[in-house]
Amino acid sequence: MISVNTETLLNEGFLISTDKTKLDNEVIWQYLTRSYWFKGVKKPLIEKLIKKSLCFGVYHQNKQIGFARIVSDFGTFAYLADVFILEEYRGRGLSKWLMIEIMNHPDLKGLRRIMLATRDAHGLYAQFGFNKLEYPDRYMEVYYPDAHLK
């Protein structure tokens, strides 16, 4: 079982919330536009994605310091995307706490499949049951790597 001392984090002023009114779209956009997976993303697209997703904000003393979003039908499938904790807040267990909150969210219980893509965080996600595709030969994709730049 994965554990994080959430009591300590809460006492230090950290909070995780799905309340979209708390989200700071500027912080989210600033981070994502320099990320390896969304470099150069336009701000209106980020606003659209937030509107259409289940979003998790991570905050320190009411300042946004992390984010993740879920795209889902809330019945069988979800895709986890755009997970980040700002660099200066890493190493405190916030990513694990964020994943615990995501995996325990009531709207995501009972799903058949949750997917994600990552270049460098396999160790984090493996702790929450994520593995390589069971049947990779069954999956296909249409991939337009620069579509978000248009």
pLDDT (tens digit, 0 to 9) for every residue of the chain, 150 residues total? Answer: 687 888 888 899 999 999 999 999 999 999 999 999 999 899 999 999 999 999 999 999 999 999 999 999 999 999 999 999 999 999 999 999 999 999 999 999 999 999 999 999 999 999 999 999 999 999 999 999 888 887
Of 62, 68, 56, nearest to 31 by C-alpha is 68
End-to-end CA distance of the chain: 43
The second-level CATH assignment, the architecture, of 6-119 is 3-Layer(aba) Sandwich (3.40)
Count Cα neighbours of 97 within 13 Å in the Cβ-side half-sphere. 23
C-alpha torsion angle, residues 105, 27, 148, 124 (rounded to 10): -50
Q: Where are the domains of the chain?
A: 6-119
